[in-house]
Chains A and B, each alone.
Chain A
Amino acid sequence: MKNLLECMGVEPDRIHFSWISSAESTKFVEVVNKITAKVKAIGPNQRFVKQAAKVA
């Protein structure tokens, strides 16, 4: 999935996959913060957004 999105020109940091067990709340918090930081760094999404949907 990620590969083709990237191939079509979507930033790699727009999509994340991870594996967290239900006991790993610390890892969960860590991953949330990490992903948020990454997405903040690349800015708002312009790709694959349907412009009409924004108007509505």
Chain B
Amino acid sequence: MSTYTDTMRETARRLLKECRVDLVIGFRQGSQPMMNEPCLVRKPEDVDQLVWDSNCGINLANYLTNRKEKIGIFAKGCDSRNIVTHIIENKVQREQLVIVGVPCLGMIDKRKITAEAQGEILAVTEDGDQINVKTAAGTQSFAKADVLQQNCSVCTHRNPVIHDEMIAEPVAEQTDVDPYADVAAIEAMPLEERWAFFDDLLSPCIRCYACRNACPLCYCPTCFVDESKPQWVGKSQDAMDIRTFHFLRAYHCAGRCTDCGACERACPVGINMRLLTKKLNKDCKELYDWEAGLSPDKRPALDSYQANDPENFIK
């Protein structure tokens, strides 16, 4: 995937030179290995900072909200679905955007690599399907498939669903994966065990709200956690407050989440809160046959009424 970089720089330069866009949103090398950071390029001479490799997991759609300029944006499968969601929700207009599609083979999970690596990681390079990690002790190699982010390894929308240009030929979609296997495993647990499972899952949460800030869906001017009159959720680290926060956050993403993994990636303590949003995704799929962000012309399941909507929970 790192071979995309040159094409990207060319594309960005062309778009900026032709004045088709005011800025281009992409990634540049971060100050630490495996931490590429989003960057906004406004001048053609600056495009050479753009890079692309397997560390571009942040969802760029997050940077579109309420912008008024003309924007060129690089979009992976999940980013493109979030862009569609933004268009549906009027957070950005389709005419403003030049979407440059990036077929994606998954992003690597830096936690997996940090856990495996011996000593401090000095540099991470990739060579096709192989990830080479350079530490003080020497060089280690990993197969990319083994260190993928969990959501990427079960991704079924790797190619952008909406684009004006493509950076490369579409990649093959995965068809033999079950994205909801982990949710199904939880559903199969008995009630007590489920409660204990989530107690355990959420207990490290420090309420930093990084998951909310990294999420492209979370753009409310005042988030419910910051409201104090009325206060819906306590601000403490009480187990119930934490649970309420995660529960409501997941609900705000119901029928909108594209499982891009930005929340989990941003979490400083590594909570897999995607299990909650994914459960809702699964319900949306099963009850309304809806997956978020696939087409800008379709209204979301939760704001449209159909005569055959399931209602067996109403007595």
Contact = CB atoms under 8 A, between A and B. Distances in A.
Interface in A1-47: 1-11, 16-19, 31, 47
Contacts of A9: 191-198
Nearest to A20: B315
Interface in B230-266: 234, 236, 238, 240-241, 243-244, 247, 250-251
B305 to A, nearest CB: 15
Nearest to B192: A9
B128 to A, nearest CB: 39
Contact of A48 (B194, B244, B280, B313): B244
For the complex, would chain B's binding face be called helix, strand, loop or mixed by DSSP majority? helix
From B186, B241, B313, B314, residue with most partner A Cβ within 10 Å: B313
A18 B195 CA distance: 26
Nearest to B275: A7
From A4, A8, A10, A51, residue with most partner B Cβ within 10 Å: A8
Contact of B238 (A1, A11, A52): A52
Interface residues of B, number: 28
B238 A8 contact: no
Interface in B194-226: 194-198
B234 A50 contact: yes
Contacts of B192: 9
A11 B315 contact: no
Given A51-B238, A51-B240, A52-B238, A8 B247 contact: yes
Contact of A16 (B186, B195, B250, B315): B315
A17 B315 contact: yes
B187 interface: yes
Contacts of A2: 313
B279 interface: yes
Given A3-B279, A3-B283, A9-B191, A17 B238 contact: no
A3 B250 CA distance: 12
Please list the 7 inter-chain residue pairs (A to B) with the smallest Cβ-Cβ separation, ordered nearest first.
A9-B195, A9-B194, A50-B240, A18-B315, A17-B314, A8-B198, A19-B314
27 contacts: A2-B313, A3-B279, A4-B250, A4-B251, A6-B191, A7-B183, A7-B187, A7-B194, A8-B194, A8-B198, A8-B243, A8-B247, A8-B276, A9-B193, A9-B196, A9-B197, A16-B315, A17-B313, A17-B315, A19-B314, A47-B195, A48-B243, A48-B244, A49-B240, A50-B234, A51-B240, A52-B236
Given A5-B247, A19-B315, 4 more contacts: A4-B247, A4-B283, A9-B192, A50-B241
